[in-house]
Structure 1
Amino acid sequence: MEFIKMKGITKSFGPVQVLNKVDFALEKGEIHALMGENGAGKSTLMKILTGIYQKDEGAIEVKGNLVNFKSAKEAELSGITVIHQELNIIPYLTVAENMFLGKELTHGKTGLIKTREMKRKTRDYLERLGVGLDPDQEAGSLSVGQQQMIEIARAVATNSEVLIMDEPTAALTDREIEVLFEVMNKLREQGVGIVYISHRMEEIFTMCDRITVLRDGQSVGTKQIKETNFEEIVKMMVGRELGERFPPRIAKPGEERIRVENFTAANAFYDISFSVKSGEILGVAGLMGAGRTEIMEAIFGKRSIKSGRIFLDGKEVKIKRPYDAIKAGIGFITEDRKDEGLVLSLSVRENLVLTNLQRFSNRGITADKKEADYVKAMIEKLKIKTSGGEQAVKSLSGGNQQKVVIGKWLGIDPQILILDEPTRGVDVGAKKEIYTIMNQLTEKGVAIIMVSSELPEILGMSDRIMVIHEGKLTGMLNREEADQEKIMQAATGGKTHEKI
């Protein structure tokens, strides 16, 4: 029996269409995987189901009745609960207090809480799932996996018939994953339907009954897990052509510019080693949470490491903080443009000179003419669409803001430039301009490390591709031999045929 049926769901945010006539159905007592690359539309579809977003077109049925939830609370009252990746647990409250948060049991109208009964029911619900936790224990002292069990028990307590799990194993240990799977199997036996959103292919083939794949906001298809395989799902996820979106790239790598050896940081990444030559672009691929950004932060001195060494032009360097990295000629264009890349309250000019103030000042006095000439030249070089250097950077488009971030780092004349999601939130035209800037930098001998979640971008711009899965290096591919399937296999824990 189909508990949920979504038909022809379409959704746009302004001019950008994020879902186009998507179909999805969930049966009672099944675990249904929802897969797709980052940005495929999985989360948007579930937010429409649970009333966080409103659909533009299409129909939603729950138990055969047309619905259009206006809030997550309304969806929950109809038996649909979301277990978010960021858990909604109050750390300083007890297990029982979290369990009944906002739904406390009270003595009539007195408002006095039935503490003993809440503890008893908490224990009962947890035991029903096979989980032994003390109702009096403070939630903040528990592991992420144990906190997750509180959320699941809370859903069971409200008689939820559907659970939506978004990357539920991302922060769990192997043992906690085993416990989660045991709980999921019990829920399935009790007739609860589970939507399982995950990038981990091995988990999907272990736990799920069916799989629906989204690509670029469209339904690619739904398969019975027993009737498909790893390779077919990968093809469904990545079946796109590169097109003419990337400028021609002729790589002429020189000598080794940077080498990273045995980089390890607790709970982030393990034993990572690679090198990049001058004039080369190393693409870094992997799924969300794989540890790519954390590796880049460690190189730049933003994150401490447990072990590892960095060599620049063959000489070992010690980078303990970003200042050391900048001094060594390393620039870092962060994925978080608005919070870390720019100071939104400042002008284009002020942002462009932020990393290079000493160049335009003498004993603290700014050389206005020198600074103005530099800013003008940078605006022209990067084709930043602005009324001038004094325009507020927050009023620029996403693509032009990103060019200001790039310009800020070009001012230090970097020898190594780390680009983390360089074209996120950028329109197609501005993307190509950023790619052209990258090519120009490598022609001058700059070594570029580019982290990207977009496989076409990785394939279109990289000379070599390093793949990270759960903090480990699982693939190193040359441009000529790389394709989307090999990258996706390595990114989801499968084996590539290439030597690492």
Structure 2
Amino acid sequence: MISPSTMAAVRASGAVPKSEYLMTVTGVRKEFPGVVALDDVSFRLKRGTVHALMGENGAGKSTLMKILAGIYQPDKGEIKLRGVDIQLTSPLDALKNGIAMIHQELNLMPFMTIAENIWIRREPLNRFGFVDHTEMNRKTADLFARLNIKLDPQMEVRDLSIANRQMVEIAKAVSYESDVLIMDEPTSALTEREVAHLFTIIRDLRAQGIGIVYITHKMNELFEIADEFSVFRDGKYIGTHASSDVTRDDIIRMMVGREITQMFPKEEVPIGEVVLSVKNLTLDGVFRDVSFDIRAGEILGLAGLVGSGRSNVAETLFGVTPASAGTIAIDGKPVTVDSPTAAIRHRMAFLTEDRKDTGCLLILDIQENMQIAVLQDKYVKGGFVDEKAVARDCADMARKLRVKTPNLQERIENLSGGNQQKALIGRWLLTHPRILILDEPTRGIDVGAKAEIHRLVTELARTGVAVLMISSEMPEVLGMSDRVMVMHEGRVTGILDRAEATQIKVMELAAQ
């Protein structure tokens, strides 16, 4: 087996062994405490192709990619790069050997500039041995020009939107001049226009002979950009096919091992009285004069392009960023919601857009994450916590939501993104909310889990819960909502009834 340093030297010299496949994986196994993440998995990537990796959350996709990126080491199995056996012991090894990965959870440093993030550990130096910021900014500008990314290299990352941070991550990966580029849900925070831009970049890279591994849950992306796809299920390799040889339903059957007969199980349920009434809600400099009502049993979808102010409205309703003006009333009575504590007291719940930064407490276990919103009010008696009741209720909720974990004492950071999302939903359902705010509830979640969450939301509406659901996925908004409210640049541009809401009408309102 050739060492990473030797392989890197061979690659740099240009004397790279030829092989039909750029990368092959054979018989890889990886175990974590109580969980077999990968079991005898195989995978092959051809040069100059986009290979999509499909599977439900917990299927093992991200685990395999982290092995290929040097983050994890396999317990057994063989990896060949350009026809040569190789062992990657760190992310730096992978980068030296031409493998770069764009993670689903962004890993940029917010208080550094874009240029500093892209060239960290590779900064150009001046003749005195200090970082040459002028040269670093120039190199970044050249890279952005090549990728048609319109950002100032000197901006700090903390001032960027999630979508622009994603573009910086992509540029950083491309800057390594890698032969293998792994993209884990790269379009989760991008608008349609930004997705089209990304696909142009991918096609250019493919034409240069780069092999791209593309992890996605979005079927339309697979058929638009991928040459081949492989499916994993429960840590096992299921099969590989050319994208042109299969249908969407074929892929879903391979992924879940069953038919998904109804992705959006919307039911006609009795709509009750107004539960939440919002009038002229304003947050200075962000959104203004937002007004709407939500009734018991109603799902109000909130649509709009990135930057429209959707998530800001949700945060203000929940007291994260108290309003500058406007009123909020519950059951016809004005209330003050100036903190999340106040919101919870009024039986509101809020699933945030970014599960990593504002949702999960990553160093805590699953039960600690689920119980945190209700522990003080529901389970403390006489100064003592009723541990048995907490464990029972959290376990019941985890079973109901089908959270895949060996036990609730597993640290939540070890779960897949979809199972983290389910645990967070469980946190808020334990509060028995009357008003449920969901910001991108199915982002980064596979089709099977999406259908489960959609069914759960429908069940909650049937019991009289008023739901505000924000989503960037048009089929989800149209399929689940009784009415659709559309925002553009901080203002409401229209509210459509379910019968009149179409993709064209929503987009017209979103792009005004």
Shorter-chain TM-score tier: 0.5 to 0.7
Note the 1:315-394 alignment, pairs <5 A: 315=332, 318=335, 320=337, 321-328=339-346, 354-355=376-377, 371=382, 382=389
Matched, 1:475 2:479: yes
Deviation, structure 1 residue 429: 11
Counterpart residue type for residue 475 of structure 1: G
Determine which of 168, 187, 193 is the counterpart of 2:211.
193
More deviation, 465-474/200-209: 465-474
Q: Deviation of residue 470 (structure 1)?
A: 2.2
Select the residue among 211, 219, 225 that pairs with 2:243.
225
Task: Flag the 1:103–1:446 CA change in 2: closer, same or farther, 3 A.
Answer: closer
Match of 1:74 in 2: 93
Contact kept in structure 2, 1:333 and 1:341, CA below 8 Å = no
1:85 to 79, 82, 104: 104
The one-letter amino acid of 1:234's match is I
What secondary structure, in the 3-state scheme, does the structure 2 residue paired with 1:23 have?
strand
Q: 1:379 to 1:177 in 2, by over 3 A?
A: closer
TM value normalised by structure 2: 0.60
Contact 2:277 2:332 (8 Å CA) reproduced = no
Q: Which deviations, in whole Å up to 9, do the C-alpha atoms of 1:28-65 show, x marking residues without a partner?
A: 11111112222222111101111211212221111111
SS at match of 2:190: coil
Q: Following the alignment from structure 1 to structure 2, what is the Cα–Cα distance between the partners of residues 5 and 134? A: 39
CA deviations 1:44-92 (Å, max 9, x no partner) are 1101111211212221111111112111110111100012234444455
| Distance of 2:324 and 2:229 partners within structure 1 | 39
Residue 237 (structure 1) aligned with residue 255 (structure 2): yes
Across the two proteins, how many residue pairs are aligned to each other? 401
What is the distance in 1 between the residues matched to 2:245 and 2:162? 34
Larger radius of gyration: 1
1:402 maps to what in 2? 394
* CA distance in structure 2 between the aligned counterparts of 1:182 and 1:88, rounded to whole angstroms: 24
Cα separation, 2, equivalents of 1:338 and 1:124: 39
Instruction: Give yes or no for the alignment of 1:34 onto 2:53.
Output: yes
Conserved? CA contact 1:257–1:447, under 8 Å = no
Instruction: Give % identity.
Output: 34
Q: In the alignment, does 2:33 pair up with 1:14? A: yes
TM-score scaled by length of structure 1: 0.61
Distance in 1 of aligned mates of 2:400 and 2:323: 22
Given that residues 53 and 231 in structure 2 are in contact (C-alpha distance below 8 angstroms), is that contact kept between their aligned partners in structure 1? Answer: yes
Gaps of at least 5 residues in structure 2 are 1-19, 261-268, 410-425, 462-468, 482-501, 504-512
Gap regions ≥5 residues in structure 1: 243-252, 361-369, 385-398, 407-418, 431-437, 478-493, 496-500
Q: How does 1:143-292 map to 2 (within 5 A)?
A: 144-240=162-258
Shift of 1:187: 0.7
Q: Distance in 1 between matches of 2:408 and 2:114?
A: 51
Relative distance call for 1:167 and 1:309 in structure 2 (3 A) is: farther
Cα displacement string for residues 389-432 of structure 1 (whole angstroms, at most 9, x for unaligned residues): xxxxxxxxxx569369x8xxxxxxxxxxxx999664655899xx
Give the deviation of 1:342 after TM superposition.
Answer: 9.7
Which one-letter code corresponds to 2:121 in the other structure? Answer: G
- Aligned counterparts of 2:373 and 2:164: Cα–Cα separation in 1: 44
| 2:71/2:89 contact within 8 Å kept | yes
Compute the displacement of 1:328 (Å): 4.1
Query: Relative to structure 1, is the Cα distance of residues 465 and 3 closer, same or farther in structure 2, using a 3 angstrom cutoff?
Result: farther
1:125 lines up with 2:115 in the alignment: no
Describe the shift of the 1:356–1:461 C-alpha distance in structure 2 as closer, same or farther (beyond 3 A): closer
Deviation at 1:125, TM superposition (A): 3.2
Say which SS state the counterpart of residue 180 (structure 1) adopts. Answer: helix
Deviations 1:161-203 (A, max 9, x none): 1111122122223332222221111111111111111222222
- Aligned partners of 2:161, 2:270: CA distance in 1, in Å? 48
Picking from 42, 47, 54, the partner of 2:66 is 47
- For residues 28 and 341 of structure 1, the distance between their equivalents in structure 2, rounded to whole angstroms, comes to 41
For 1:475, what is the secondary structure of its paired residue?
A: helix
